[in-house]
A and B are shown apart, each in its own frame.
Chain A
Amino acid sequence: MGKQKKIISLAKIVLLNQVLLFLLSITEKSSAEAKKIKVVSPICTFADIAKNIGGDRVDVINLSDGLNDPHFVEPRPSMIIHMRNAEVVIPIGLRLDLWFFSLIEKSANPKIFEGSSGFIRTYEGVRILEVPEYKFGQPRIGDIHPEGNPHYWLPPDNAKAIAMNIAKKLSELYPEDKEFFIKNTEIFTKKIDEAVEDLKREFSRFEGVKAVQYHKTFTYFADFFKIKIVGEMEPYPGIPPTPSHISQLAEKMKKEGVELIIYEPFRNKKDVEKLSKITSAIPTQIYADCVPQINELKDYISLIRYNIRKIILNIEERENNKKEK
């Protein structure tokens, strides 16, 4: 009997030990996870850049991607929780991602409020295009966007500036890892430069190609890769195409020899196809943001590579069609 009791109590101790070890492993694991800096980004591109800079020190979440219109993201309860736990946020700003700012406000997390330590001014150092000039006494009608075109993240030089802004903020908040962040920024910048060199070489034959875009999404991108944007299908940003605007645009496109109509996947494809029929410009669906679940669009560099190659492919197709005729 005594022996049995001893065995039982020994078993108890072993069991208790196992339980304690298990609990310890859980807490260890969660403390290792807790050490990671929680970053929330409205779009996939900023998230990808932050991952490149922060490496294993950050835990980045993106709330939208290239398949969705970043102007309108339907908020979900989990998004508020992500904001609640965030230490750093990377907003687009310039009034594009108002939903993201609403989420920040709703989170009641003072760390990420505008002007707080965890709020990155993502476009600092980026040259914002199309900022309307106001002249005193003149009517304000006709200004496109009070703070300029907010789709600034696609061209590589701006992506590098964004990377710098993220690195600066992370180094400020976590000075012990400053060198790590700076080294990663250098690596990332080099990666971009290499990719861009190839793309520029591939694209050099097509520089100066004329295109029309649906929304003012690709203005910066086109500026960088020397694609000439002749106009937009929207008469004003956010206003769906009107017949008179489209017919004027079509005239202009024919006169100038526009070869492409570029648009994002969530735009009205029928409108694009109609305009293409009248003008014989080729509908070219490209992306303004990466898409993690699609391999060829999975990160920022893949995204610009995809866009440029898609454009090249479509121009070549148009050239071939012409030859056949």
Chain B
Amino acid sequence: MYEIKDIFPLILPAFFISLSLVLIHVYFGTKIFERGVIFADIAIAQSAFLGSSIAFLIFHDPSKELTYLFGVLSSIFFGILISSQMEREVVFKEGFVGVIYALTSSLSVIVLSKLGRESEHIRYMLAGNILFVSWEDVIRADLIYFVIGILHIIFKPKRRSFVSEFFFFSTFGLVVSSSVSLAGVLLVFSYLIVPVLTSKLLFSSRYTLLTSYLIALISTLIGFVLSVAKDLPTSPTIISVCILFFFVALFIDSIKNLKKKNQELNS
């Protein structure tokens, strides 16, 4: 149907952006995991979406930058709200994050319905597709990720406080609103969660970050090759490969547990 070498230069930006996405999101994923609020990422992504759709409500035809700004402001706002509850017990935290997700989702639907125009168009503008990423997008996103990465290296809080949580969730909001507009909610969510979960199943927590990176990179590579070779939609293919690894890990882990139980019974 087509030659791999023809397609390669066209999807190179998509490949590069997914590497950048892996670098920043897997890092944030491990931190989110530590906080025990897995769904914070999708709640933050949804609040970015809400903010951007509010930009459409106010300005009718806002520029890309204005849409992004509103997304960031909204995600920071909800980020603060989430971070204010971080001292509570895990069940409450997860519940609270769920409430924020439901709230931002339904508010988005209300805002979209109040726009009084075809929401397909706006939805399309707000949720990107990795195949359409340009070099310009790659550079802009990498700049944001780089600065935030550096900030996280400089400010390493010893103890979690409201300030450190505020810093964490606002930078997280910045990253997520940018990446969702490039690659869509699903890929971003998967990069945040799936590699970390897989790594937790197989490796000691000392190596979580490193092994999560490896898992994410390998899935991305395989996903890309499969997508090109079999002509499949790119993001869903990467996500499926990523989750396939997760299930393999789950299988291995279950067998391990079974063996352990057997040994205990025998002894």
On A, residues with C-beta under 8 Å from B are: 71-72, 74-78, 80-81, 84, 95-96, 98-99, 102-103, 105-108, 140-146, 235-239, 242
Q: Which residues of A contact B116 (CB under 8 A)?
A: 141-144, 236
Residues of chain B with a CB closer than 8 A to A81's CB: 1-2, 6-7, 10
Complex Cα distance, B7 from A96, in Å, reads 26
B113 in contact with A77 (CB, 8 Å): no
Contact between chains at B120 and A72 (CB < 8 Å): yes
Q: Which residue of A lies closest to B123 (CB)?
A: A238
Nearest to A142 among chain B residues (CB) is B116
Whether B132 pairs with A102 at a CB distance below 8 angstroms is yes
Could you tell me the distance between the alpha carbons of A218 and B133 in the complex, rounded to whole angstroms?
A: 34
Residues of B within 8 A of A (CB): 1-2, 6-7, 10-11, 60, 109, 112-121, 123-125, 129, 131-132, 134, 227-228, 231-234, 236
Contact: A77 with B231, CB < 8 Å?
Answer: yes
Cβ A75 vs Cβ B113 within 8 A: no
CA of A55 to CA of B134, assembled, Å? 36
What are 21 sample pairs from A and B whose C-beta atoms fall under 8 A apart?
Answer: A71-B120, A74-B233, A75-B131, A75-B132, A76-B131, A77-B2, A80-B10, A81-B7, A84-B6, A99-B124, A99-B129, A141-B115, A145-B118, A235-B113, A236-B119, A237-B117, A237-B119, A238-B112, A238-B123, A239-B112, A239-B119
When chains A and B are docked, how far (Å) is the Cα of A145 from the Cα of B119? Answer: 10
Which 5 A-B residue pairs are closest in the complex by CB-CB distance?
A238-B119, A237-B118, A71-B120, A238-B120, A74-B233
Contact A77 B119 (CB under 8 A): no
Closest Cβ–Cβ distance, residue B35 to chain A (whole Å): 33
Q: In the complex, which residues of chain A have a beta carbon less than 8 angstroms from the beta carbon of B113?
A: 235-236, 239, 242
Query: Across the interface, do A77 and B118 meet the contact criterion of CB distance under 8 Å?
Result: no
Contact across chains for B118 and A238 when beta carbons are under 8 A apart: yes
Residue in B6, B131, B228 with the greatest tally of chain A CB atoms within 10 Å: B131
Tell me, in angstroms, the Cα distance from A75 to B237 when the chains sit together: 12
Other-chain residue from B112, B115, B134, B231 in contact with A76 (beta carbon distance below 8 A): B231
Q: How far is the CA of A84 from the CA of B231 in the complex (A)?
A: 15
Taking a contact as CB atoms under 8 Å apart, the answer to whether A237 and B120 are in contact is: yes
Indicate whether A77 sits within 8 Å of B227 (C-beta atoms), given known contacts A84-B10, A141-B116, A142-B116: yes
Q: How far is the CA of A108 from the CA of B64 in the complex (A)?
A: 21
> In whole angstroms, how far apart are the Cα atoms of A145 and B123 in the complex?
14
Residues in chain B near residue A74, CB distance under 8 A: 129, 233, 236
Please give, as numbers and ranges, the residues of chain A lying within 8 Å of B60 by CB-CB distance.
140
- Which of A78, A107, A143, A238 has the most B CB atoms < 10 Å from its CB? A238
